[in-house]
Structure 1
Amino acid sequence: MDHEPSYKKRKVITIGVVSELTGLTERQIRYYEQRKLIFPERPERGNRKYSFSDVERLIEIANKREEGVRTHEIRQEIMKKNKEEEERKIKKQMLRGQINARFGIQND
């Protein structure tokens, strides 16, 4: 099975386009990166590349900031969501392994 990231996770969008899509300034976007709320890819030339998932997260961050939520609170929420997602993945893999073992299915 090919493990190519989905189109939403591919880091292909420049900071200028992200700024246009989100309504945030490039400075704000860099600040959110600095606060470890987003993680753009930085190829050799150093130009940041963002994914559609990053754009969605930035819009979510901007909305929360408008509501008065502080960046460290947003980061805590993101970390909690990431941990929960990782736990779901592990449980799913364990269940798949148990089912495969029960029915004698070999994984490749």
Structure 2
Amino acid sequence: MSSGETSYRERKVISIGTVSELTGLSVRQIRYYEERKLVLPHRTNKGTRKYSFTDVERLMEIANHREDGVQTAEILKEMRKKEQRELNKAGLKKQMLRGQINAQFQRGRP
């Protein structure tokens, strides 16, 4: 896959009605979670919300937390922490790879 392509999991192609059917959440709940910045659908030129499979998974995770009594502000806080850990992890992997490449090229030099 080229860098310009998006994985099928990230493509925003699912309508809010289908997301509601898949998750068991009402359209109102899904819109509320959008208002709270827990999920960010794509908006078409006509304003139609489009979600990805990743968004559906995130909504299921949110619903599970809500059933456990976790407030949306706490869910958002935890989601941001998780995203930051993933970014840090990706950055560390990139640094390690760069170090391995540099070490490999240094080995071949006199």
Q: Which residue of 2 aligns with 1:99?
A: 100
Q: Which residue of 2 aligns with 1:2?
A: 2
Q: Which residue of 1 aligns with 2:73?
A: 72
Unaligned runs of 5+ in 2: 106-110
Using the alignment, how far apart are the partners of 2:11 and 2:71 within structure 1?
A: 28
Q: Which residue of 2 aligns with 1:60?
A: 61
1:79-103 CA-partner distances (Å, limit 9, x unpaired) = 0000000000100111111111111
How far 1:5 sits from its partner (Å)?
1.8
Of structures 1 and 2, the larger Rg is shown by: 2
How far 1:45 sits from its partner (Å)?
1.3
Q: Give the letter aligned to residue 16 of structure 1.
A: G
* Displacement over 4 Å in runs of 4+: none
Normalization by structure 1: what TM-score? 0.92
Q: Give the letter aligned to residue 69 of structure 2.
A: G
Q: Identity of counterpart residues, as a percentage?
A: 54
Using the alignment, how far apart are the partners of 1:46 and 1:93 within structure 2?
A: 38
Q: CA RMSD in A?
A: 1.0
Q: Which residue of 2 aligns with 1:87?
A: 88
Give the match's secondary structure for 1:49: strand
Pairs aligned (count): 104
Normalization by structure 2: what TM-score? 0.91
Q: Which residue of 1 aligns with 2:39?
A: 38
